Amino acid sequence: MLMSISKQTYGINKRILSKFGYEDWQTDYVPHGITDKRINKIEDKGDTKFREFEKKHGLDKYKFKILYLNRNIRRKNPGDVALAYKHFMDKLTPEKRKECVLVWHSAPSDENGTDMRALCNALLPDYPIIFTYDTGGPMNDEEMNFLYNSIDIYINMASNEGFGLGSLEALHAGKNIILNVTGGMQDQCGFKKEDGTYLTAEDYVELKSNHRGTYTNHGEWVKPIFPTNRSLQGSPQTPYIFDDRCSFEDAGEALLEWYKAGTEERERCGEIGRQWAQGEDARMTAKHLSESFIKNIEATFKNWKPREKYTLEV
C-alpha cells in the first residue's frame, strides 16, 4: 500500500504500478495534515505573550513581514529568496521600505547551502533582515505558532519539494503564501479546472504536473510562481530529479502584489485559505490525515494477498 503526500507522486505511482498488476486500492493520495493544537489562527493579537514574542525578535517594528523557514540548502534556493526580496524592496520608496522585513528562521550559514549573512551584506546591505537564530534560536510549538501569526507572507521557492509543510502551517494560521509550482507545493495552490472544480489526484495521472501552467486558475490565498526553466539534478542517493526553477523577479513581483493588496485584503484571502486547507476539498488537517490512513490500512488488511516469491537481478 502506497500513500502519496502529493498528487504528482500519486500520478507517478498510478501510472507505473498499473503496468505491474497492482490494484486501485494499493495506492492513494494522503496529504500532510496539521493539528490546530500546534498551529492555529490567533484572533487576539493583543495577547501579552504574543506581543512579548514579537518584541523579543524585533517583529513589532514592521508592518509587512516575509517569512523564510526552509533549511538553508541549495534546492531551497535561499539566495533567490533574498533576490526576490531585493527586487520587491527596490520598487518601494525609502519610507515604505522601513515597514518591511525578511524574517529568516533558518541557520544563517550551512555548508549544504550558503552564508546568508555574507550574501545579504553584499547584495542588500540596506534592507532589514531578522535572523531569528540570533534572537532566540529554534522555537517550540507555541513560539512557532506566534511566528506564523506575526508574519504576513510565507515564501517557498524550492526547485523541488515533496510537500512543503511550512506553507501549509502558514495557511492554518490564516496567512498568504507564495510558492514555486513544483512537486507537492502545487497541491496547496488550489488549482481549478475549466468547470471550476479543483484538480484531483486522479487528474494528475494524465496531467503529471501543473508546473507548465496547464491550469492557472488558483485560490485567492496564493501567488503561484511558474518555473521558467527545468534542469536535471541528482546525487548518489537520488541519481536524477528535475529541478523546476522559478525566476526571482517573478517572486519579487508577487511580493509586491501582496504588499499593495493591503492588510484587510490579505486578511480576507488568508482566511479563505485557512478554511480551504481545513475543508473537504484539501483535507489537510490531522483529522483528515488520520481518517485517510485508517481507511487505507483497513483496505490493506481486507484486500492483501501474498505474492509469489521472486528474485531480483541487478
Evaluate the CA torsion angle 93, 95, 96, 97 in order and state its sign.
positive
pLDDT of residue 25: 94
Rounded to 5 degrees, what are φ and ψ at 35? -95, 135
Evaluate the CA torsion angle 117, 120, 122, 124 in order and state its sign.
negative
- 67: which 3 cell numbers? 517569512
pLDDT of residue 311: 77
244: β partners: 230
Count Cα atoms within 13 angstroms, Cβ side, for 167: 26
Residue with cell 481507511: 295
Mean per-residue pLDDT, 292-296:
98
pLDDT of residue 248: 98
Following CA atoms 139, 151, 142, 274 in sequence, which dihedral angle do they give, to the nearest 10 degrees? -130
Which pTM does this prediction carry?
Answer: 0.95
Mean per-residue pLDDT, 235-242:
92
In 3D space, the residue among 76, 97, 93 whose CA is nearest the CA of residue 85 turns out to be 97
- 117: which 3 cell numbers? 549573512
pLDDT at 135 over 90: no
Asked whether 274 and 174 are in contact (CB, 8 A), the reply is yes
CA separation for the pair 247, 250 (Å, rounded):
5
Contacts (Cβ under 8 Å, ≥6 apart) of 26: 1, 2, 17, 300, 303
In 3D space, the residue among 193, 136, 141, 164 whose CA is nearest the CA of residue 68 turns out to be 164
Angle, vertex CA 188, rays to CA 84 and CA 222, nearest 5: 45
- 3-state secondary structure (DSSP) of residue 198: strand
Asked whether 254 and 178 are in contact (CB, 8 A), the reply is yes
CA separation for the pair 92, 252 (Å, rounded):
12
pLDDT at 181 over 80: yes
Count Cα atoms within 13 angstroms, Cβ side, for 227: 21
CA separation for the pair 218, 190 (Å, rounded):
5
CA separation for the pair 42, 46 (Å, rounded):
10
Count Cα atoms within 13 angstroms, Cβ side, for 198: 16
CA separation for the pair 244, 211 (Å, rounded):
8
Over residues 263-281, the pLDDT tens digits come to: 999 999 999 999 999 999 9
pLDDT band at 307 (very low <50, low <70, confident <90, very high): confident
Count of other CB atoms within 10 angstroms of residue 49: 11
pLDDT band at 314 (very low <50, low <70, confident <90, very high): confident
Over residues 52-106, the pLDDT tens digits come to: 999 999 999 999 999 999 999 999 999 999 999 999 999 999 999 999 999 999 9
Residue with cell 493588496: 261
pLDDT band at 308 (very low <50, low <70, confident <90, very high): confident
pLDDT of residue 63: 97
101: β partners: 65
Residue with cell 510565507: 154
CA separation for the pair 220, 9 (Å, rounded):
25
